[in-house]
Chain A
């Protein structure tokens, strides 16, 4: 028996990275549930596909890099990335979309940069953007909410669609996407954008069936569910409140200004908040510590920048939603933000840096 030598501090809060990751994964459950409720089994299937692929990819890369496999494989970060990819994909996208996405996220974006803690970009969002640019057709084939669909879609059929592109009855994805009235469906953001380009005002666009009663049928509830999950995370102190708050506030203010200036060509503030991946981005993606800013001041700047970018890209960009793009742009800016938002050290007066 020998004396054990360790460096102080000897006591440690018993919270670990893996536990943190697990908590975040749990917090996505309400959102996933809402997705399932409004859009069926598609996303769940993609989530499981992505998780399996991510774990396999992580395992292979870790063994190639001769790292401690058991410890790093189950630290939850790969699973979380996969879950986020699965959530953000269109429900009826083909199976290989999520596989490619997960492999890209884990192998290229995360491990090639040195693994957890060293990746400059959020793996899930980088993968999403890669998929969006490479496979625009599949990645924009948004499925309408179940209640608007002309053809019923159960779990088995969803599986069929994802793996074979056709339901068991032989309907294609395009057919599935068509409305009861025969129109092809899109997301509310897409609809608004298209309508604006063809000269319709916002008020007219809001009458589209996909918008529903408020800001987008289904989407509003999904976002609300993610908001709940996010608030739970803040309550659990798993994430810091500053980033989501500044992001949402920034988006709110930008859209408010635009809305006041020109209500006909700009959607309302709440439309921005409760559509697309807004809440998911605010609470689950921007708060990713690895790729975000670290100091409190930095986080505020980071959130404001993200909100502004989301608004600009939604308004002016070629793609309907903008969270993924703005997150990547902010990731790039994060080290710079950190550099300029260093707190003043105790005992050092303001001027010196």
Chain B
């Protein structure tokens, strides 16, 4: 009988073997990929690897509660509140360059983790909106503070059916 069970277990281990990404890959998939470095790591992947090796799960500010929950679920650990040091306002934003102030120093271009800023030395720079992850990293290096983070504009396409916030016309 033990043989039979052994065979059964052996079969089961082969049959139900979990073929999945390594943990770091799965974690990386959960992270928002802003590459902002707010967690203290130089990008989302390094942080994912660190989490896989036991780093705290609550350091991703752009991901916020949702991401922490997902990571906790994947790791099978308890949900932690977002680390205070990494807490940030995580409304989605994109960077915007005030173009008349830009001196063309290319500092922001080097800071951008996703190459979403174009421009060259002494030329005005600009942001590729579609590529910007809103990571905030270009704001600090700017010597003239011409980069601001703008909240993403509400359009018909990204409207979330938030009926309570519709500005109604007040009559009389």
* Closest CB in chain A relative to B170 CB, distance in Å: 5
Contact call A1/B163, Cβ cutoff below 8 A? no
Contact call A2/B169, Cβ cutoff below 8 A? yes
Contacts of A5 in B (CB 8 A): 163-164, 166, 168
* Closest CB in chain B relative to A1 CB, distance in Å: 5
Chain B CB within 8 A of A7 CB: yes
Task: Write the A325-344 contact mask toward B (1 if CB under 8 angstroms, else 0).
Answer: 00000000000000000000
| Chain B residue nearest in CB terms to A2 | B168
* Closest CB in chain A relative to B159 CB, distance in Å: 13
Contact call A1/B172, Cβ cutoff below 8 A? yes
Contact call A6/B163, Cβ cutoff below 8 A? yes
Contact call B166/A7, Cβ cutoff below 8 A? no
Task: Write the B132-172 contact mask toward A (1 if CB under 8 angstroms, else 0).
Answer: 00000000000000000000000000000101101011111
Contact call A1/B166, Cβ cutoff below 8 A? no
Chain B CB within 8 A of A346 CB: no
Residue in B161, B164, B171 whose CB lies within 8 Å of A1: B171
Contacts of B171 in A (CB 8 A): 1-3
Interface residues of B in 48-66 (CB under 8 A from A): none
Task: Write the A52-89 contact mask toward B (1 if CB under 8 angstroms, else 0).
Answer: 00000000000000000000000000000000000000
Interface residues of A in 278-330 (CB under 8 A from B): none
| Chain A residue nearest in CB terms to B161 | A7
| Chain A residue nearest in CB terms to B170 | A2
Contact call A3/B163, Cβ cutoff below 8 A? no
Task: Write the A1-21 contact mask toward B (1 if CB under 8 angstroms, else 0).
Answer: 111011100000000000000
* Closest CB in chain A relative to B161 CB, distance in Å: 7
Contacts of B168 in A (CB 8 A): 2-3, 5
Contacts of B172 in A (CB 8 A): 1
| Chain A residue nearest in CB terms to B164 | A5
Bound Cα distance from A1 to B169, whole angstroms = 9
Interface residues of A in 1-49 (CB under 8 A from B): 1-3, 5-7
Bound Cα distance from A5 to B166, whole angstroms = 8
Bound Cα distance from A286 to B25, whole angstroms = 49
15 new A-B contacts, CB < 8 A, other than A1-B172, A5-B168, are A1-B170, A1-B171, A2-B168, A2-B169, A2-B170, A2-B171, A3-B168, A3-B169, A3-B171, A5-B163, A5-B164, A5-B166, A6-B163, A7-B161, A7-B163
Q: Please list the residues of chain B having a beta carbon within 8 angstroms of any beta carbon in chain A.
A: 161, 163-164, 166, 168-172
* 17 A-B contacts (beta carbon < 8 Å): A1-B170, A1-B171, A1-B172, A2-B168, A2-B169, A2-B170, A2-B171, A3-B168, A3-B169, A3-B171, A5-B163, A5-B164, A5-B166, A5-B168, A6-B163, A7-B161, A7-B163
